[in-house]
Structure 1
Amino acid sequence: MEPVTRVSGSAYPWGQKNVDTDVIIPAHWLKTIKRSGLGRGAFETVRSAPGNIFDDPRYAGSPILIAGDNFGCGSSREHAAWALADMGVRAVIAPSFSDIFSGNAFKNGIVAVVLPQEAIDRLLVVATDQPVTIDLETMTVTTPFQGRFTFTLDPFRRRCLMEGLDEVGLTLSKDTAISKFEEAMHQQRPWIDQRSGNAGIAVEGAGRT
Structure 2
Amino acid sequence: GDIKERLKEDDIRGGAFYLQQFEQMSSRLNYKPQELGDIKERLKEDDIRGGAFYCSLPSFRDSYRLVSRIIERNGQSVYLMLCSITNGKGMPMDKPDKLEVLSVELQNTIQQCLRKGDSFTKYSPSQFLILLVGTNKENCSMIFDRIQRYFSREHKSWKQYLDYFVSSVAEVDQQDSPIQFNTENKTW
Task: State the TM-score, normalized to the length of structure 2.
Answer: 0.25
The structure carrying a bigger strand percent of its residues is: 2
Task: State the TM-score, normalized to the length of structure 1.
Answer: 0.24
Q: Which has the larger radius of gyration?
A: 1
Bigger relative CO (Cα 8 Å, ≥ 6 apart): 2
